[in-house]
């Protein structure tokens, strides 16, 4: 058994335990296995072990490996979890099943245009910069609820949930709590939060999906 498959089993076990501990239904937190920087040879065993929801942070890198893997495993659900440039909206809509990083007006407009043109509608999340970090993507928390509304009303986009990446050097709990509060205000049910170091905490705060990379695939 590959090391990644063994670690996948451990992560699944810890997710199940965190769900139980939080009094949540089994399977209510979806594992998104983040395969960025790993090639198809590393990813295939993890898919063969039953993992179907996967994440990549760069459109170009995903284009180089996922069309073939999706042909091999048609029920893959591929998430874009990294920043989206508006000149990549066309490629992103064509390749991804879920885009988690809608964070500004221009991207919303480009996505709406491509969705209409391609007749294909990925599920969409709005990324919130919960720590207001200048270098980080995501809409400001104070603007998030209004932005979700504009995505719907101005651009006709159905937003499913919110996503965040807390500051690396802070306790993530308050950031997860903030994201959950904003989602509630915006009337959204999905919360993408938690990574290798804090996915159990995220589940305690209501994450409906956790994005786990290195704890499965190893250090990058
Ligand atoms: C890389 C990445 C992850 C996974 O990070 P790990 O710490 O390796 O689990 C999750 N979310 C985003 C947005 C990422 O870019």
pLDDT of residue 1: 56
Q: For residue 103, is it left (φ>0), alpha (ψ between -120 and 50) or beta?
A: alpha
Percent helix, strand and coil across the chain, each rounded to 5?
A: 45, 15, 35
Cα distance between residue 43 and residue 64, in whole Å: 13
**Which residues surround ligand 1 with Cβ inside 6 Å?**
34, 36, 57, 81-82, 165, 195-196, 211-215
Which residue's C-alpha comes closest to atom 7 of ligand 1? 196
Write out pLDDT tens, residues 82-121. Answer: 999 999 999 999 999 999 999 999 999 999 999 999 999 9
pLDDT of residue 118: 98
Helices (H), 119-190: 141-153, 173-186
Q: Which atom of ligand 1 is nearest to the CA of 212?
A: 9
How many angstroms is it from 153 CA to the middle of ligand 1?
31
Which residues lie below 8 Å from residue 9, measured CB to CB, with a gap of 6+?
A: 49
Cα distance between residue 33 and residue 54, in whole Å: 5
pLDDT of residue 41: 95
Beta-carbon neighbour count of residue 137 at 10 Å?
16
Q: Single out the residue of 122, 113, 126 nearest to residue 92, CA to CA.
A: 122
How many angstroms is it from 193 CA to the middle of ligand 1?
10
How many angstroms is it from 196 CA to the middle of ligand 1?
7
Q: Tokens 């991804």 map to which residue?
A: 96
Q: Is the pLDDT of residue 45 over 60?
A: yes
Cα distance between residue 14 and residue 20, in whole Å: 10
Mean pLDDT of the chain: 97
Cα distance between residue 148 and residue 201, in whole Å: 25
Write out pLDDT tens, residues 131-185. Answer: 999 999 999 999 999 999 999 999 999 999 999 999 999 999 999 999 999 999 9
pLDDT of residue 205: 98
For the chain, how many residues are written?
220
Q: Output the pTM of the full model.
A: 0.98
Q: Is the pLDDT of residue 49 over 90?
A: yes
Cα distance between residue 195 and residue 129, in whole Å: 15
């Amino acid at each position: 058994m590959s090391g990644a498959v063994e670690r996948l089993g451990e992560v699944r076990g810890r997710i199940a335990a965190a769900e139980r501990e939080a009094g949540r239904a089994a399977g209510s937190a979806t594992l998104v296995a983040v395969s960025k920087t790993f090639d198809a040879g590393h990813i295939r065993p993890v898919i063969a072990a039953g993992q179907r929801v996967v994440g990549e942070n760069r459109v170009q890198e995903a284009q180089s490996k996922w069309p073939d893997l999706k042909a091999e495993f048609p029920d893959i659900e591929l998430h874009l979890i990294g920043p989206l440039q508006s000149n990549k909206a066309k490629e992103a809509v064509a390749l991804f099943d879920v885009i988690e990083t809608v964070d500004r007006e221009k991207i919303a407009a480009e996505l709406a245009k491509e969705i209409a043109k391609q007749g294909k509608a990925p599920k969409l999340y709005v990324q919130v910069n919960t720590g207001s970090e200048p270098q980080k993507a995501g809409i400001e928390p104070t603007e998030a609820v209004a932005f979700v509304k504009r995505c719907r009303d101005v651009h006709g986009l159905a937003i499913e949930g919110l996503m965040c990446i807390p500051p690396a050097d802070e306790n993530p709990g308050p950031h997860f709590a903030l994201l959950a509060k904003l989602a509630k205000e915006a009337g959204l049910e999905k919360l993408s939060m938690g990574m290798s170091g804090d996915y159990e905490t995220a589940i305690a705060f209501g994450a409906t999906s956790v994005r786990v990379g290195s704890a499965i695939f190893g250090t990058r």
